[in-house]
Amino acid sequence: MSSTPEISQSGRLLRITSPLGPDALILRHLTVTEAIGRPFTIEAEVVSARDSLTPKDLLGKSITCTVAFGDQPERHFNGMVRAFGKVGAHERDLTTYRLEAVPLLWSLTRTADCRIFQEQAVQDILGTLFGEGGVAPVRFGTLPSNPRPYCVQFHETDFDFASRLMDEIGAGYFFEHSANDHTLAVTGENADFPLVPGQPLVVRAERNAADVVTGWCVTGSLQPGKHVAHDFDMLKPSSLLQAEEPTRLDTPNAGQWEVFRWGAGQAAQPDARPASLGMQQNEADADSASGQTQTAALFAGGRLKVQEGLAGAEATWLLTTVQHVAMDESQIVGDGQSSYANSFIAIPADRTWRNARPRRRPVMPALQTAIVTGPAGEEIHCDKYGRVKVHFLWDRAGKRDDTSSCYVRVSQPWAGKWGGTWFLPRIGDEVLVGFLDGDPDKPVVLGSLHNEEAMPHYGLPGANTRSGITSRSSKGGGKDNANMLRLEDKKGAEEFYLQAEYDMNVLVKHDLSTTIRDGDETREVTTGNRDTIIKTGNDTYTLSTGNLSQTLDKGNYDLKLSMGNMSTKLAMGNYNLKLDLGAVTIEAMQAITLKVGQSEVKIDQMGVSIKGMMVKLEGQMMLEAKGLMTTVKGDAMTQVSGAIIMIG
């Protein structure tokens, strides 16, 4: 370089303020694009007497570009340098550089996360995101205040997540610039958009006046006539959540063009207005106006009064997009030309602004794993619907307690008002989670998984023929405290095993049939009683071939028949009754009869009679017959014999 040219920004149309000093950079070309709900961009071409500037000199630094056009108030554009690079040398021994500046909000595009917000309004969530990203100052306008029960950010940049939340509630944002910073203004109502300062602009053909709009064009476009949004809520399963919103505009074919959306979000977000927002998004695009001016005060998010001709009607429009273009060659090239102009797009100010292309929620992967959580000291935790809390493994900020998530529904193989199966995962279990409609705010537990800390109950692969169900006593139960149903399918050793850890109750409302084809049946009561009660009916025991043995080692054996008959029949064989110690007592109210063929012994209330073809009474030592009256009679012969016979 031959010498350092002396260039000052004083008196120029364009100026730039940077950390490099007042005249280190000279702003030559400037293009600023701003839109509601979009980060602005400042594209600038500058020249400098310093040819050794590098990106690190300006990247991440704050710069302000200023337009001083005529007698208009200075218009500032402040931003953070996102890109900076050298273009080449200029004929006046100056070096040309290009830079791009963006709002601090843009820094949220550089961060992404997976996390959960619970019971927070969108404004609170946005405040967290902006605070973490260093976005300031921020001004919130009118926004819904209802808290969201459950809201998930999953693999979204903080910017995309914040933008999606604003789209879901119908909010937008714009920027207000000053010489030193820029303010992010967030709002959901048109009333929060400020008026552009100055007098109404007049639509005319000439271009050299600051209060003139040229190239004015008003355009209308066809839009749907109705939005319909449906969703399902498990708390109201008999009827769908339905919302409809017809257009307020005079739209041809409005009755035929309907937009239907399923899973619109009313269940997860009770304050959601999907049909209304969807219709407003279309209506915001239905009518628009465009034009060009030399009024530097225009900004996206400003309400502009426009008069169509000197005698025309005045209307207020909401500026949705503004692009500023300026150049200043003074002190750089010979003739020193400079100019400024802008172009804009606007919608009627009484038309609610909504983002016409809202961001959709990310579609969750098909399946994820999570850990069941709950309060400290508990082993099982759920609500009255059997829903559980889970901790997603990607949730770095979440705690593994009963605040880790919303209550999550648990899928069952069968479920209905008629009954079904029921298994509840327990705290610490690893579970498989899916998402209804792919919505991150609608998780469902689909099943449970084993892992190194929760191995299968059977030793595998050795016991790979076993399957079954094993529970665990709670609280404080160990591995040996369980109810169990186990199936062994090993050939030749098949087994159906059933274990009740404490009580077992079986209810059969009709018949119970048990068949053992080849084998034994063993029933053992180690300690306790066994009761069999038949309230009405018969009890039949049949042993076709074999022996029947009952052993009572110690105790009493009582058999009681309250009313009816009792009989024991032995078709063939002998009947023995033996008491090693003790006595036999047989007692009847009416009679006791012992009968063999034609012979019998009968005992009744009148006495005892012995009858038979031959009755023999023998006393080896003595036989005594005694009564108040004794009769001994033989119809054919009576024989009395003895060594000594005594009569009387």
What percent of the chain has pLDDT above 90? 57
Give me the chain's average pLDDT, please: 90
Neighbours of 302 (CB within 10 A): 23
Q: How far apart are CA 69 and CA 67, in angstroms?
A: 6
Own/partner contacts of 372-375, CB < 8 Å, gap of 24 or more, are: 372/425, 372/426, 372/427, 372/428, 372/429, 372/431, 373/399, 373/400, 373/401, 373/402, 373/404, 373/405, 373/427, 374/401, 374/402, 374/427, 375/401, 375/402
Asked whether 40 and 103 are in contact (CB, 8 A), the reply is: yes
Kindly give the residue spans of alpha helices, DSSP state H, lying in 94-189: 122-133, 158-168
Neighbours of 326 (CB within 10 A): 23
How many helices (H) and strands (E) in the chain? 3, 33
Cis bond before residue 417 (omega within 30° of 0)? no
For the stretch 273-321, pLDDT in tens is 888 888 898 888 899 999 999 999 999 999 999 998 776 789 999 999 9
For the stretch 392-418, pLDDT in tens is 999 999 999 999 999 999 999 999 989
565, exposed or middle or buried, with CB in 10 Å at 0-12, 13-18, 19+? exposed
Q: Does the pLDDT value for residue 336 go beyond 80? A: no
Neighbours of 627 (CB within 10 A): 7
Q: Mean of the pLDDT values across residues 157-174?
A: 96
Q: Which of 20-24, 307-311, 477-481 has the lowest mean pLDDT?
A: 307-311
User: Given this model, what pLDDT does residue 5 score?
Assistant: 60
Q: How confident is the model at residue 270 (pLDDT cuts 50, 70, 90)?
A: low
User: Given this model, what pLDDT does residue 334 score?
Assistant: 64
Q: Which of 129-138, 177-186, 308-317, 374-383 has the lowest mean pLDDT?
A: 308-317
Q: How confident is the model at residue 1 (pLDDT cuts 50, 70, 90)?
A: very low
Q: Mean of the pLDDT values across residues 344-351?
A: 96
Q: Which of 212-226, 440-454, 507-521, 613-627 has the lowest mean pLDDT?
A: 613-627
Q: Does the pLDDT value for residue 514 go beyond 80? A: yes
Asked whether 293 and 342 are in contact (CB, 8 A), the reply is: yes
Q: How far apart are CA 152 and CA 169, in angstroms?
A: 15
Q: Does the pLDDT value for residue 617 go beyond 80? A: no
Asked whether 242 and 228 are in contact (CB, 8 A), the reply is: yes
For the stretch 491-502, pLDDT in tens is 999 999 999 999
Residue 592 tokens read as: 């006791």
Q: Mean of the pLDDT values across residues 40-68?
A: 96
Q: How far is CA 180 from CA 81, 458, 503, in A?
A: 14, 70, 78
Q: Does the pLDDT value for residue 632 go beyond 90? A: no
For the stretch 531-566, pLDDT in tens is 888 888 888 888 778 788 888 788 787 877 777 787
- CA nearest neighbour of 217 among 290, 287, 313, 285: 290
Q: How far is CA 446 from CA 398, 410, 435, 500, in A?
A: 21, 6, 10, 27
- Which phi and psi angles does 348 have, rounded to 5°? -55, 135
Q: Pick the residue with more confidence: 357 or 136? A: 136
User: Given this model, what pLDDT does residue 596 score?
Assistant: 85
User: Given this model, what pLDDT does residue 174 score?
Assistant: 98
Asked whether 171 and 139 are in contact (CB, 8 A), the reply is: no
Tell me which DSSP letter residue 417 carries: T
Residue written as tokens 């012979």? 599
Reduced to 3 DSSP states, what percent helix, strand and coil does the chain have, rounded to the nearest 5? Answer: 10, 35, 60
Q: How confident is the model at residue 448 (pLDDT cuts 50, 70, 90)?
A: very high
Q: How confident is the model at residue 2 (pLDDT cuts 50, 70, 90)?
A: very low
Q: How far apart are CA 597 and CA 585, in angstroms?
A: 24
Q: How confident is the model at residue 610 (pLDDT cuts 50, 70, 90)?
A: confident
Residue 93 tokens read as: 């021994």
Neighbours of 390 (CB within 10 A): 29
Ramachandran quadrant class, 571 (left: phi over 0; alpha: psi -120 to 50; beta: rest): alpha
Domains for the chain: give ranges and CATH numbers.
Answer: 14-102 (2.30.110.50), 368-449 (2.40.50.230)
- Which phi and psi angles does 347 have, rounded to 5°? -125, 160
Asked whether 345 and 290 are in contact (CB, 8 A), the reply is: yes
Neighbours of 576 (CB within 10 A): 5
User: Given this model, what pLDDT does residue 4 score?
Assistant: 54
DSSP three-state, residue 47: strand
- CA nearest neighbour of 437 among 635, 146, 191, 230: 230
For the stretch 85-100, pLDDT in tens is 999 876 678 999 999 9
Q: Does the pLDDT value for residue 634 go beyond 80? A: no
- CA nearest neighbour of 330 among 3, 95, 47, 86: 47
Kindly give the residue spans of alpha helices, DSSP state H, lying in 262-332: 274-284
